[in-house]
Chains A and B, each alone.
Chain A
């Protein structure tokens, strides 16, 4: 029986200190034990402490969770109450987009191969589950990181914040710098749709042929075997892109920091696209043969020759299209950066989101 009261004390101090930084644990543990013994002594005077005494004292000290919170000075969150509503919105958008994408993939595959409807349905359900788990995980990770850096920044800000002046009041955002809610939401949906399609139905990126007298057929642009090893990179880029859209959804206006993240996303995207499309093997080598087979452009016809030439040009110039897209993005960002600088030089402080 003598061991029992001590065990409660052990368990209590452990419950408090395990949540605290390693460096403070031993000291706080010692302090708490001293406190508990003092409280016990005050309670029992000279008689020996019983199990009930110990329990009463510990109840008086209260929930070890909140005790640890007080020692820490702030509560810990994976996703704090400020970010949580946005988190819920984004989870809904992402899961909704995944569900829509999987349904679309299923419908199209069933149109192309009506005989395999049961097979397709089972695959679709499995993919839906996998995609949902993946989507949820990535969104949670993104928000967790955002929360982590926000709290860390908040701590520094207390020390570093310069004296506030009226001129520090943020400029009313120029119309061009505002971000509507619809923009990031649409981008997230598109990113999810695109990623789901690339992952589960690469064939859909191609030409779909439905002729009266034959079964439907999709002629894919890309070579699945060459593309497949790149998939993890596609997911990583999509996750980074969604993180950026979440940042936009929270900030709701362009800032230099947001532009920096935007640049990072674009550069990574650009690098991946270059890596993919500078390799000629990425294109479906049998594209023209399959086109002919589909019946849309029978071999040896004028249409077939025109199509062949077009396909050759398309595949060899595609890299330049990617470069063009990147360039346009670069110019847009420069224009925004200049706008932000103009706005913030008036206020004399750098913009932070």
Chain B
């Protein structure tokens, strides 16, 4: 039971940062919240709307995103788009992600070849 909780906690921590990068990656074109939910779900990065919507709002407050209500459709939707600062941040994060991912791949690959021995 307790290891399940631990695993859930670690998973959540791991996903939190990844989701932010994923969201930024999708916003070079304007998207509204629910379209992001669907796209992320298809990519295996499912995120609850209750997490995503506040996240978008926070990123807008931080100046990473700009938003606009589209009232021409059947129901009004709030579209988000990367700001100039958001684009810069996203580029930097991509760079960080690639170096982290390749480093981690090496580590995971290494430990898969030689399963870690218990410490003496």
Write the residues of chain A forming the contact surface with B, with a CB cutoff of 8 angstroms.
Answer: 27-28, 30-35, 37-39, 42, 61-62, 66-67, 70-71, 73
Task: Tell me how far the C-beta of B54 lies from the nearest C-beta in chain A, rounded to whole angstroms.
Answer: 4
Contact status B34-A38, CB under 8 Å: yes
**Known A-B contacts A39-B34, A73-B58; A34 and B78 likewise in contact (beta carbons under 8 Å):** yes
Q: Dominant SS at the B interface? A: helix
- Cβ of A67 and Cβ of B50 under 8 Å apart? yes
Q: How many Cβ-Cβ contacts under 8 Å join chain A to chain B?
A: 44
Interface size class of B (residues with CB under 8 A): 10 to 19
Flag if B76 contacts A34 (CB, 8 Å): yes
Q: How far is the CA of A6 from the CA of B6 in the complex (A)?
A: 39
Alpha-carbon separation in the docked complex, A66 to B76 (Å)? 25
Interface string of B21-54 (1 = CB under 8 A from A): 0000000000011100010000000001111011
Given A30-B78, A31-B33, A34-B34, CB of A62 within 8 Å of CB of B48: yes
- Secondary structure at chain A's binding surface: helix, strand, loop or mixed? helix
B49 touches A70 (CB 8 A): no
B77 touches which of A28, A34, A39, A67 (Cβ 8 Å): A34
Q: Is B11 interfacial (CB-CB < 8 Å)?
A: no
Q: Which residue of A lies closest to B56 (CB)?
A: A31
Tell me the nearest residue of chain A to B71, going by C-beta.
Answer: A30
Report yes or no: B53 in contact with A35, Cβ–Cβ below 8 A. yes
Q: Please determine whether A37 and B75 come into contact, CB atoms closer than 8 angstroms.
A: yes
- B57 to chain A: closest residue by CB: A71
Contact among B32, B54, B78 for A70, CB-based, below 8 A: B54
A39 to B34, CA, bound (A): 8
With A34-B32, A35-B33, A39-B34 in contact, do A61 and B50 touch (Cβ < 8 Å)?
yes
Give the docked Cα–Cα distance between A61 and B37 (Å): 13
Q: A35's contact among B34, B57, B58, B69, by CB below 8 Å, is which?
A: B34
Please, how many angstroms separate the alpha-carbon atoms of A31 and B53 in the complex?
A: 8
Q: Are A61 and B54 within 8 A (Cβ)?
A: no
Q: Which residue of A lies closest to B52 (CB)?
A: A35
Cross-chain contact of B75 among A28, A34, A62 (Cβ < 8 A): A34
Q: Which residue of A lies closest to B38 (CB)?
A: A42
Residues of A within 8 A of B78 (CB): 27, 30-31, 34
Given the complex, which residues of B lie within 8 Å of A42, measured CB to CB? 34, 38
